[in-house]
Amino acid sequence: MNAPNTPTANGALKAVCIYCGSSPGENIAYREAAALLGRTFAERGIRLIYGGGSVGLMGVAADACLAGGGEVIGVIPQLLVEKEVGHKHLTKMHVVENMHERKALMTDLADGFIALPGGYGTLDELFEALTWLQLGYHVKPVGILNVAGFFDHLLKFIDHARDERFLRPQHHASLSIDVDLTKLLEKMQAAEAPDTAKWLDGHKREMTV
């Protein structure tokens, strides 16, 4: 797989990719947050990039952005189109062959990434974006919108991984987190990508000790 484009860090967030559930979840706060995100993107002229679904939090965010006059770009594998879960009214829909192509294209199209509540797929996409940031495949900010404390346990695990020295402090700090969307966007706008060359050099030295 080719590495995605790597725009300059701290560039404008003109397009943001969201990762979230294909289910609406149990707590109505999740749906309210997804709708607010969609409306906010439309108001700010931020292009919404997402997985192209019409259901769950994905559909809520897309519908809210479209209703506000915003631009929504979907990326969906052919298999899911055939299962009739693809959104029918997006600004543009990219149909790809598989999940690998889907994630790569969403990464390429976006200036940053935000995770909302979701399951395995959401976590897979979030951690791939973080891993690519860690390795220098992109320098785009990655954030978590921690709606109603949904990610609290995950964030404790991430802290634990840092404390146990499986995650360097600079990579731990590269993840922006907030309960408020406006504040999260501000943090992401100010975020700086970790120095990959410095980290890799340090890792090599540790391996030879």
Q: Locate 84 and state its tokens.
A: 């009739």
Helices 196-208 and 120-135: angle between axes, nearest 10 degrees: 80
Rg (C-alpha) for the chain, rounded Å, is: 17
**Each residue's pLDDT expressed in tens, for the chain with a length of 209 residues:** 344 444 434 568 999 999 999 999 999 999 999 999 999 999 999 999 999 999 999 999 999 999 999 999 999 999 988 776 899 999 999 999 999 999 999 999 999 999 999 999 999 999 999 999 999 999 999 999 999 999 999 999 999 999 999 999 999 989 999 999 999 999 999 988 887 765 555 554 454 44
- Tell me how far apart the 2 most distant CA atoms of the chain are, in Å: 58
Say whether pTM exceeds 0.95. Answer: no
| Edge-to-edge order in the sheet of strand 72-77 | 92-96, 72-77, 47-50, 15-19, 112-115, 142-145, 175-178
Say what the alpha-carbon torsion angle 159, 160, 164, 165 is, to the nearest 10 degrees: -30
Give the Cα separation of 35 and 108 in Å (integer): 24
Distances (CA, A) of 161 to 101, 153, 155, 157, 206: 29, 13, 10, 6, 18
